Amino acid sequence: MSLPAAALDRTALVTGASSGIGAEIARELARRGHGVTLVARSAAKLQTLAAELRDTGVRAEVIACDLTDRPSRAGLLGAVEGRGLVVDILVNNAGLSTLGPVAASDPEAEMKMIELDVVAVADLCSRFLPGMVQRRRGAVLNVASTAAFQPLPGQAGYGAGKSFVLSYTQSLSGELKGTGVTATTLCPGPVATGFGEAAGFSKQDAEDALPPVMWVSAPDVARAAVDGLDKGRLVVIPGKANRVAAALSQVTPRTLLLPVLTKNHPGLR
């Protein structure tokens, strides 16, 4: 199974494309000749990236959208179709995390996180997959995390949300068999993108909690993601150390794993 062929009236919609993994996935898709539709809240950052990608010869569109806002999110399909484009590749990358124990959490922040990390993924898949299946071509990449394979005290909602994304996308893959459409989950480990700082802990805290061997650069994550998407892989975990850690976390008894995870998480110190 390979990615749908690039064409002038086809696009890859990438959410959370203003920085980090999303921006690098957009660059990687553009390098392979795919036009891209960049979606995030920051129009200025998207326009800068779009100009860079247009210089490589591909079509790059910008749609500023707050994906936590349901009416705005619901308008994405029409906004793309209004430009004469069909989405053959959907990358649900946008996400955020809160930090700290649930007992000390801000309910509004928790719900905003779940809206973006969980509800938006299901919403956009529900809106864009029917057209892909009808055309009998397409690929979906939903970005989870190695946190999907284990509990995550200190980021309980984030870890649970990524577990949802992993299970949901695997189920999609089963449903889509024989349709010409594939579904892949990307599960990166630690990546230096500013994501952690936005959640509330410093890069130093993250580096202290996670050994250097587990860190993978955003461009390398994007390359592994698009390679996996092109091959129709079910799950992509960039970095050998992260693949080993994900496997071990699934078989380690929770009574042994939870104390270690709780002790080492920066959000619980």
Active site residue 168: no
Beta bridge partners of 90: 13, 140
Burial of 78 (0-12, 13-18, 19+ CB in 10 A): exposed
Among residues 128, 149, 158, 164, the one annotated as catalytic is 158
Annotated catalytic residues are 158
